[in-house]
A and B are shown apart, each in its own frame.
Chain A
Amino acid sequence: AQRVTQPEKLLSVFKGAPVELKCNYSYSGSPELFWYVQYSRQRLQLLLRHISRESIKGFTADLNKGETSFHLKKPFAQEEDSAMYYCALKNAGNKLTFGGGTRVLVKP
């Protein structure tokens, strides 16, 4: 069975500081990994996906198959980055499994 683990429920950082959200997964096949974000009072939306290998809003995430991780990083956090972040894994059957989420609070 596939599983996604986000060990940190809350990350509190100061503006300008680096932030890293951890995500580990277990899946026997070839996974596709995503990060979704939910800002206050807004809907859940895609932030980035590993196959795109792009940087969105300054965030990057690298799939490490050896460590089965897909950590999300941003070198300089901004106040507008405060949100809930969900790591998700999609299997070959198009089923998305979400992690428990990490709340990021960026303090001024």
Chain B
Amino acid sequence: ETGVTQTPRHLVMGMTNKKSLKCEQHLGHNAMYWYKQSAKKPLELMFVYNFKEQTENNSVPSRFSPECPNSSHLFLHLHTLQPEDSALYLCASSAGGLQETQYFGPGTRLLVL
């Protein structure tokens, strides 16, 4: 699959588990993003990485820990989550800079029990 891929597509975890979400983009982009899409809220930006450097943390709780080892990969490490963290987590990438379109992955649907 080309474009932006995310794994796993579905994840069920307990509140004491540790898991990681993975995003990979095959577009040669320099910026990557994590978004949270809850059932009753607008899409929320969580983190922004530009050239592997975190440029934005949108007041996200520390139980979410992003990692960007290179411009093509982005991880979201999860630990001690709460049931209200259940949502669709979307990754996106863009070439970077103003005026650039973001391309979204299919998302990981997370359920925290």
Beta-carbon contact of A49 and B45 below 8 Å: no
Interface size class of B (residues with CB under 8 A): 20 to 34
In the complex with contacts A43-B105, A43-B107, A94-B97 CB distance below 8 A = yes
Q: How far is the CA of A102 from the CA of B61 in the complex (A)?
A: 28
Q: Are B98 and A101 in contact (CB under 8 A)?
A: no
A49 to B66, CA, bound (A): 29
Partner of B48, one of A32, A95, A101: A95
In the bound complex, CA of A3 to CA of B66 (Å):
25
- Total A-B contacts with CB atoms under 8 angstroms apart: 52
> Is the C-beta of A45 less than 8 angstroms from some C-beta in chain B?
yes
Between B41, B42, B97, B98, the greatest number of chain A beta carbons within 10 A of the residue's beta carbon is seen for B42
Bound: A34/B99 CA distance, A: 10
Say if the beta carbon of B20 comes within 8 Å of chain A. Answer: no
B101 near A94 (CB under 8 angstroms)?
Answer: no
- A66 interface hit (Cβ, 8 Å): no
Q: Is A94 a contact partner of B98 (Cβ separation < 8 A)? A: yes
Q: Within the assembled complex, what's the spacing in Å between the Cα atoms of A75 and B48?
A: 37
Write out the residue numbers on chain A whose beta carbons fall within 8 Å of the beta carbon of B45.
Answer: 95-97
- Give the total of A residues in contact with B, Cβ under 8 Å: 24
A98 to chain B, nearest CB (A): 4
Asked whether B31 is an interface residue with its Cβ less than 8 Å from the other chain, the reply is: yes
User: Is residue B43 within 8 Å, beta carbon to beta carbon, of the partner chain?
Assistant: yes
Question: Which residue of chain A has its CB nearest to the CB of B101?
Answer: A46
User: A44 near B90 (CB under 8 angstroms)?
Assistant: yes
Chain A residues contacting B99 (CB-CB under 8 Å) are: 32, 51
Kindly list chain A residues whose C-beta atoms are within 8 Å of the C-beta of B4.
Answer: 43
User: B42–A101 contact, CB under 8 A?
Assistant: yes
| Contact between A99 and B48, CB atoms less than 8 A apart | no
Cβ of A72 < 8 Å from any Cβ of B? no
Contact A99 B42 (CB under 8 A): yes
17 contacts between A and B (CB under 8 A): A32-B98, A32-B99, A34-B101, A42-B106, A43-B106, A43-B107, A44-B43, A44-B90, A45-B104, A46-B101, A86-B43, A94-B94, A94-B100, A96-B33, A97-B42, A98-B44, A100-B41
